[in-house]
Amino acid sequence: MDSGNKVASKSSKYGKRLAKIAKALGNNINGTPVNYKVYMTSDVNAWAMANGCVRVYSGLMDMMNDNEIEGVLGHELGHVALGHSLAEMKASYAIVAARDAISATQRCGFPAFPFTIR
């Protein structure tokens, strides 16, 4: 993900500000190291992944004070702690697998449902 985005350097005003805010929140959630970075974009967003990646967009940082950003980061860390992004990925893979299986049976001449619902 980082390779497709311009990432603020740690020495930039965004990097320094994020480091200051994140220090209060810590760099480890349930044994998972947290990796904070700022994406340089006017978009207003932040996200986290189960592996501890937390990304904040500079557009969001431009709109919020430090306390508000800390609240957003706390929200994102909650997703890391609860494994939300991992659970969502697993659910998405299961849905895709089910759709592929149904599609494959239909291509072989089998109906999607081998029974009639009345």
Q: Are 72 and 46 in contact (CB under 8 A)?
A: yes
CA 8 to chain centre: 18
**Structural domain that includes position 37:** 2-82
Residue 9 lies in a domain: yes
Q: Is the pLDDT of residue 5 over 70?
A: yes
Residue 93 lies in a domain: no
Walk across the sheet containing 35-39 and list its strands: 35-39, 53-57, 46-48
Q: List, for residues 45-101, the tens digit of each pLDDT value.
A: 999 988 889 999 999 999 999 999 999 999 999 888 887 665 565 565 666 677 767
What is the reported pLDDT for 83?
Answer: 77
Number of domains comprising the chain: 1
What residues act catalytically?
A: 76
CA distances to 4, 16, 18, 19, 66 from 61, rounded to whole Å, are 20, 12, 9, 13, 8
Q: Are 69 and 21 in contact (CB under 8 A)?
A: yes
Q: List, for residues 46-61, the tens digit of each pLDDT value.
A: 999 888 899 999 999 9
Q: List, for residues 28-42, the tens digit of each pLDDT value.
A: 988 989 999 999 999
What is the reported pLDDT for 67?
Answer: 96
3-class DSSP assignment, residue 7? strand
Residue 95 lies in a domain: no
What is the reported pLDDT for 17?
Answer: 98
Pairing mode of beta strands 32-33, 28-29:
antiparallel
d(C-alpha 61, C-alpha 82), whole Å: 25
User: Which CATH number goes with the domain that contains 67?
Assistant: 3.30.2010.10
Q: What percent of the chain has pLDDT over 70?
A: 72
Task: Tell which phi-psi region holds residue 8, choosing left (phi > 0), alpha (psi between -120 and 50) or beta.
Answer: beta
Say whether pTM exceeds 0.75.
Answer: no
What is the reported pLDDT for 80?
Answer: 84
Residue 94 lies in a domain: no
**Higher confidence at residue 1 or residue 112?**
1
